[in-house]
Amino acid sequence: MKALILAGGEGKRLRPLTNDKPKPLIEVGGKPIIEWQIEWMKRYGVDCFIISAGYMKERLIEYLGTGAKFRTEINFVVENEPLGTAGAIKNAIDILRKEEKFVVANGDIITNLDLGRLISANKTECTISLVPFKSPFGIVDTEGEVVVGFREKPLIKDHWISAGIYVMSKSVFDYLPEKGSVELETFPKLAVERKIENLKFSDVYWKSVDSFKDFDDVNFALSNNLVYT
């Protein structure tokens, strides 16, 4: 099984941490985000990784190399200009066109969701993983005019967000533009044709490292063995 990690973004909201390295090389819990991702996916049979590199691509290539030190195979596809998530996937077509299915993941995610379940569930052009929406605010529970409780930033389990981890079949390339967003351009087309499915993960650890608050939360969780055991 092959996996494409989208690692081309600049990570502007995490500067100065990304002044001299791409976001996937930011260390959390003692090692780079992308190294945690590789270790996690290997547990589910992923044995070859394709890294879509753009911003400071030389740093990624230097750190990951051929993948030998991670006991896996690593190849690179390069974005000479920002292509967006859809364009980045399309850019890897020469490596992935013969695969019946493959994993795609954003390069800033730390999670312990069961990737094996997602792979097994794939029966269409794309299966996306969903996690519950976490409220950015505390929730006040009421009964009429009476306050009966408070919940601090709870998971709202009747609303779901994309976890940024997908299993795609090779036919998805027919729906990908050369440049653009998979979320805004490809997925809506697949949805209209009923060719995209979802798998919900309600009780997993999931965090996209987009801000310093996310960085602190992930660093704490990994350092205290709250993600992987």
- List the catalytic residues: 153
Hey, what are 101's tokens? 């299915």
Could you tell me if residue 94 is left (phi over 0), alpha (psi between -120 and 50 degrees) or otherwise beta? alpha
Q: Are 118 and 92 in contact (CB under 8 A)?
A: no
Q: Are 159 and 131 in contact (CB under 8 A)?
A: no
Q: How far apart are CA 99 and CA 115, in angstroms?
A: 17
Q: Are 118 and 199 in contact (CB under 8 A)?
A: yes
Could you tell me if residue 67 is left (phi over 0), alpha (psi between -120 and 50 degrees) or otherwise beta? left
